[in-house]
Amino acid sequence: MASQDWIDKDFYSILGVSKDASAADVKKAYRKLARQYHPDQNPGDAEAEQRFKDITEANSVLSDPEERKQYDAIRAMGSGARFTAGGPGGAGGSANFEDLFGDIFGGGGGGRRRRTTYSTGGAGGPGGPGGFEDLFAQFGGQTGYGAPGGYGGYQAPPARGEDIRTETTIPFRSSVHGTTVKLRRGNGQETTVRIPRGVRDGQKLKLAGKGHSGAGGAGDLYVTVHVTPHPFFRRVEGTDDVEVTVPITFPEAALGATIEVPVLDGGTVRVKVPAGTSSGRRFRVKGRGFGTAKGTGNLIVTVEVHVPAELDEQAQAAVRAFAEATADEDPRARLAEKARPLFVISVAAEIAEMHPQTLRQYDRLGLVRPSRAPGRARRYSQRDIEKLQQIQVLSQQGVSLEGIRRILQLENQVAALRSRVAELSRELEDARDRAEESSRIFAAGVGGDVVRMARGARPRARKISQAVVLYRPPRQQER
């Protein structure tokens, strides 16, 4: 390095550190700036390349304790002075370089003066042998950018050791509470790795400085952790929640119950199952999942109604009685409707032969009411498309949108009236059946046969002689 640079350049300012900065601070500042201005990061940028050279020069001096000491001394003695190669005093009264450093290098100093020329060139340069760099050679410094071992004269930082990547498998319980494992290298050296509680399957752990050694420091150790699956507990992917499936009986599902559910710590937690619970329903118990340094997950309980494979006669009779009591309920009543295809707005518009914007307008006016998928996207059924086609026909016939709205309202009212009439007809038939039953009597003949006769009729004696009346239903008003 040219010694003149030691006087002209402020290496502390170049690295952005104070003069009392520690070696670690200098190293940290150098690495940060080197990454920022490295030629590979700034291809074709001459300014960034020069800046990188200056940063490397500053680091090469300040990172070496001896050179840093010599640099500080020279800067302290030469602060504020500018040196020339002229005679006594020089032009403008600048101090002569020999005057300042005569005592250091044994020069004549104040009395006898010699005209001396200094050059920054090496051997063969304009200054010939014994140039400016040779003058500072006794300080042990480099002689400029010609120093070997770097980009344009700078030395690359020493390389770190290689990283090590390995895998390990731990039991499920160890992932809950945490554990330690020992990894053995090929040379027989063992490394102890602490597995934190709540570690996830496939999670990677980094151990800084536990890799292969190198001149620039040791590399890192990366451990991928695999967790053995559990037969009961399952971790919800991407979360700290744990999921379990718990069987319940039909009476518990129908009438409600409070059940005991195992948890990760070996205990149990009480979960209330409300009446009318269907198989597959999920319940959340807060704070009963995996515990990590960031918090604790939840327990997700999924219930399944257990159906016995075999039933005794008493149980079968009870099930039949329940089936008769709930005969009016049909859980598959709307299954066919759900099975019908649903269409997105673009497909529905194409089938109905209209523009999607027209369909949206009909939707905003309430002429059609499509279902909504997750995310609030519209889904049109075949019935919706038939209604759209009807609206399109009415519109082509010159009916206004308000008129179309009124026509659809009337059609809905007619459909509701027809449904009500059908319901009243069924109720009338039931009333007639009850009235007919109340107008009859039942009698038993001598042969044990049962006959039914209308009220007021006179039976023939030869057919029901010695008959005994067993039951006569009450009149409808008596019920």
Q: Which residue has the higher pLDDT, 8 or 479?
A: 8
The pLDDT assigned to 2 comes to 46
pLDDT digits 0-9 by tens, 359-401: 888 888 888 888 777 777 778 888 888 888 888 888 888 888 8
At position 272, the amino acid (one-letter code) is: K
3-state helix, strand, coil in the chain (%, to 5): 40, 20, 45
Taking each helix axis from N to C end, the angle separating 46-62 and 65-78, rounded to the nearest 10 degrees, works out to 100
Structural class in CATH, domain 335-399: mainly alpha
When pLDDT is averaged across residues 305-330 and rounded to a whole number, the result is 87
Question: Which of 310-314, 346-350, 445-449 is most confident?
Answer: 310-314
pLDDT band at 354; cut points 50, 70, 90: confident
CA-closest candidate to residue 249, choices 283, 268, 277 = 277
- 195 with 235: CB under 8 angstroms? no
Identify the CA nearest to 370 among candidates 359, 384, 382. 384
Q: 163-209: per-residue pLDDT in tens? A: 989 999 999 999 999 999 988 877 778 889 999 999 999 999 999 98
Instruction: Give the number of C-alpha atoms closer than 13 A to the C-alpha of residue 118, restricted to the C-beta side.
Output: 18
Contacts for 83 with CB less than 8 Å, ≥ 6 apart: 4, 7, 94, 95, 96, 97, 100
Distance CA 435, CA 437 (A): 5
| Relative orientation angle of helices 401-438 and 382-396, to the nearest 10 degrees | 130
Residue type, 29: A
17 compared with 436, residue with greater pLDDT? 17
Q: Which CATH architecture has domain 3-85+95-106+118-153?
A: Orthogonal Bundle (1.10)
The answer to whether 199 and 293 have CB atoms below 8 angstroms apart is no
C-alpha pair distances (Å), 345 with each of 92, 365, 367, 405: 88, 16, 15, 21
Backbone φ, ψ for residue 11 (5° rounding): -65, -30
Q: Where are the beta strands (DSSP E) in 209-288?
A: 221-227, 234-235, 242-248, 257-262, 268-273, 282-285
CA dihedral defined by 402, 407, 409, 410, rounded to 10 degrees?
Answer: 140
Rounded percentage of the chain residues whose pLDDT exceeds 90: 23
pLDDT confidence band for 296 (50 / 70 / 90): very high
Quick: pLDDT tens for 86-106: 444 444 444 444 444 444 444
| Assessment of whether the complete model's pTM goes beyond 0.85 | no
Give the residue extent of every domain in the chain. 3-85+95-106+118-153, 164-227, 234-305, 335-399, 440-478
Q: Report the CATH number of the 234-305 domain.
A: 2.60.260.20
| 3-85+95-106+118-153 matches 234-305 in fold | no
Band (4; pLDDT cuts 50, 70, 90)? low
Torsion sign (Cα): 424, 427, 429, 435: negative
Cβ atoms of 306 and 245 within 8 Å: the answer is: no
Write down the residue that tokens 């020339």 correspond to: 84
Quick check: 193 and 223 in contact, CB under 8 A? yes
On the 0-12 / 13-18 / 19+ scale of CB atoms within 10 A, 459 is: middle
Contacts of 89 (CB under 8 A, 6+ apart): 96
The CATH classification number of 164-227 equals 2.60.260.20
**Residue pair 400/406 in contact by the 8 Å Cβ criterion:** no
Structure tokens belonging to residue 47:
């300014």
Residues 202-229: tens digit of each pLDDT: 999 999 988 888 888 889 999 999 999 9
Average pLDDT over residues 341-357: 82
Positive or negative: CA dihedral 182, 183, 184, 189: negative
- Residue 232: what pLDDT? 94
